[in-house]
A and B are shown apart, each in its own frame.
Chain A
Amino acid sequence: MGGGVTGAGLLRELSRRGLTALLLEKGDYGGGTSGGSSWMIHGGPRYLEYDWDTTRLSCEDAGHIVRLARHLVHRVVFLIPVLPGDRNNLERMETAMEVYDRFQPLKHAHSHVRLTPAEALRAEPGLSPAISGAVTMEEWGVDPHRLTWLNVADAIARGSRAHNHARVESLIVDGGRVLGARYRSDDGALHEARARVVVNAAGPWVPELCALAGVDVRLRPAKGIHIVYDRRISNFAVAAEAVDGRQLLLIPHGPFSILGTTDDDYYGDLDRIEVAPDEPDYLLQAFERVFPSIRQHRPVRLTTGVRPTLFRWRTYEDDLSRRYEIFDHERRDGVAGFVTIAGGKLSMYRLMAEQAADVVCAKLGVQAEVPERELPLPGSEVDPVPAEELAARHGVTAYAAARLLRRHGCRSEAVLSGGPARLVCRCEPVTEAELVHAVRHEQVQSLPDAFRRVGLGSGPCAGATCLERAATVVGRELGWSAARAQEEAVAFRRGLWQGRAAVLDSAGWAQEELTVGARGYRA
C-alpha cells in the first residue's frame, strides 16, 4: 500500500525475487511526498553534524540509483557562497566539504573546489558582490515521478500488478492476522485483494493505514514547500542561508529551477496541504541575500510535500533524523502478516525497498537471492540514439527529442513510433505519440496523471496552449465524450492555478492576463 518511490521500489524488488505482488496507490504514483521533494538524490552533508551513518547510506544508495536510472539523472553542481555573518564561515564550510568529499566517490561524484569571490561571480554573475568566496558540491538530480513510475513499470513487466487511484478503505483482519485489503477504485467499485503479507509503505499516511490494523506507528510529519521557476535560472545550483540559519537550495532541474525548502511540523490534512502566504517569502528573503535578482524571475507554481519523519520529541524539525524503520507488526504488536516501512528519504529508496523485501521474504520463508543492485530500469538498459538522429527519423526538433530521451531513454524510439509526432504541449514539449503511449502503457487516467508522467502543462503557460488538445488526445484513448474532455481540461487548469496563484507577482499576473486574453480559454 502506497505508490510513492518506496512502495514502487519495494514492488520492483519483490518482483525481481520471483514473488508476485500487488501495489495499491490512492492517488497517482509519486504524487505525494516523492513528487513534492527537492528532486534530488543527495547524500545530505548537513547530516554530518549529527548522523554520519545517514550520509554514508544515502551516498551508497545514490551511487546505485544513478547507475540503474542513468537516463533520468543529471549532475547538480552547487555553488555555496559565504557571506559575512553567515553561520559558517568559508573555512568551516570548506571543512564540511572536505569531509563530504570522502563520501562523494560512493555516488560517482567529484570533490569540491574553493572559489575566490571573483571566480564565484564569473561562475554565476547573479551572486551578491558581497560574498567572501564559495565552495562547490556535487549531487544528482532526478525526476521522482518518472523514477517511481519506472519502478512500477519494471515490476509489472516481471508479473506483478499495480493500481493507481485505488484507495484502501479497510484491511481484512482475522484472528490477529492481516489477510488483505479492501480498496475502492476510481469508478466507485469496491474490490478485495488477499495476500500472505501486506506492507504499509504509505509515507506520511502510514499511521492512518496502521490504525486500520489496530496498531500504532507515530510519525512527526514535516511540511516542505518549493517554488518552481519557469526555466533554468542558472546552470549551477546555489545554496543560501535563511533567516533562522537553515540552508536553502535553488536547484536547476531540466527546464525548471526549484527553490526550497521549508521544514515545519505539520498537523493538517495530508490530502489538502495549505500554504501560508508568508512561506514563499521566507524562501525569497533568504535567496535575495545571495542572489539579489531572484524576485525578478518567473515563478510558475508552488509544490508541497510532507516528509514522513520518524517521531521524536524535543527535537527541532531540521535536526530530525532522515532514518527509516521497518516494523514487523507480528513481533511488535502481535498482528501477523503486516509490515510497515516508515521514514527515510528519496536517495535511500532502493535500500529501504531492499531491506523491506528481506523482511517480507523472511516472513514468507522464501530464500530469495538478493538480485543485482544496479540492474537498469526500463529506458536505461543501453545507450539511446542521439537526439539529432531521433529527431531526423520522426520529424521533431532535436530539442524535443533530447527532452524525450531524458524521460524515456533508450525506449524513446518506441514511444515516438506509437503515434503522430505532432506537438501537443509546446513548452515541455510533449508529442501526441508520447501522450498516447502514456495512456496506453503508463496508466495515465487523467490530465494530472499526464502532468506527472510526461510533464503535460508543467511549463510556463500552465496548459493555456495545450490542455484542450491534450484532453482530446487522452479522451480519445479513454473514451471520454467531448463534454467530459472539456470538463477535465477546466478542472486540471483550475488545479494548476491553485499552485500558481500563490507565487505570482505583478509581472506574473500581467503575463497571465495576456495569456487569457490571447487564448480566450474558460478558466
Chain B
Amino acid sequence: MSRATAFARLAAAYARHQVRGRFRRQHPQLANLLATYAPDHLQPVTAAERELLPAMSGCILCGACALAARRYGRVMLPDLAGGHLRSWDLLPSAAADLAGERPDLAAAAAACPTGVPLPEVAAMVARLSQRHEA
C-alpha cells in the first residue's frame, strides 16, 4: 500500500470520526477500562503513592531495616521494597507472603540510610495484593 493510499484511508476514517462525534455523547470510560484489565491486575496507583514512589525506590538492600524488624509477614524486610514493590501485577499471586508478623516498620524506616518510607511501602504492597476481579 502506498503512503498516499494510507493517508487517504486515515483521512476517510477522520471524516467518519468527526461525523460520529456530532451524534455521540461521551460517557465515562474509566470504570470500563479498569474492569477490562482487572484480571491482569492493572490497578492505578493513588496520588499519595505516586508522590512517595521515588522515595520508595531508594532501597539499596543493605539490610539495616532487617536489624530493626526482621520480617513483614513472610517477607524478609529488605525484599519488601527491593523485591515485592517492583512487580505490582504479580502481587495478588503473592498475597500469601503477607500473612503473619506485623513488625515495627517505623523503627525499621528510621534505620534506613536512604530514607525508604517502609510503613507506606508495606501499605502499598498490601493494597496492590488484593484481588480486584471484574
- Could you write out 17 A-B pairs with CB less than 8 Å apart? A48-B10, A49-B7, A95-B13, A96-B10, A110-B36, A119-B28, A123-B44, A124-B45, A126-B45, A231-B87, A232-B89, A297-B57, A387-B90, A387-B94, A403-B90, A460-B86, A518-B60
Instruction: Tell me what chain A mostly uses at the interface: helix, strand, loop, or mixed.
Output: mixed
* Residues of chain A with a CB closer than 8 A to B79's CB: 397, 399, 426, 429
Known: A235-B45, A399-B97. A49 touches B88 (CB 8 A): no
| CB–CB B37/A75 < 8 A | yes
Q: How far is the CA of A255 from the CA of B61 in the complex (A)?
A: 16
A70 at interface (Cβ–Cβ under 8 A)?
A: no
Query: In this assembly, does A388 line the interface, its C-beta being within 8 Å of a C-beta of chain B?
Result: yes
Complexed CA–CA distance, A510 and B62 (Å): 14
Distance in angstroms between the alpha carbons of A427 and B62 in the assembled complex: 12
B68 adjacent to chain A (CB < 8 Å): no
Are B10 and A464 in contact, CB atoms less than 8 angstroms apart? Answer: no
Interface flag for A514 (CB, 8 Å): yes
Q: How far is the CA of A401 from the CA of B84 in the complex (A)?
A: 12
Interface centre among B18, B43, B83 (most CB of A within 10 A): B83
CB pair B57–A48 under 8 Å, yes or no, is no
A residues near B, CB below 8 A? 48-53, 74-75, 77, 91-92, 94-96, 98-99, 110, 113-116, 119, 122-126, 136, 230-236, 252, 254-256, 293, 296-298, 386-388, 391, 397-399, 401-403, 406, 426-427, 429, 459-461, 464-465, 507, 510-511, 514-515, 518-519
CB contact list, B1-51 vs A, under 8 A: 1, 3, 6-7, 9-10, 13-14, 17-18, 21, 26, 28-30, 32-34, 36-37, 40-47, 50
The answer, among B14, B59, B87, B113, for a CB contact under 8 Å with A399, is B87
Give which listed residue, B9, B33, B76, B90, contacts A52 with CB less than 8 A. B9
Interface residues contributed by chain B, number (CB under 8 Å): 60
| Shortest Cβ distance from A406 into B: residue | B90
* Given A231-B85, A232-B86, A254-B87, A397 and B94 contact (CB-CB distance below 8 Å): yes
Is the beta-carbon distance between A125 and B46 smaller than 8 angstroms? yes
Interface flag for B130 (CB, 8 Å): no
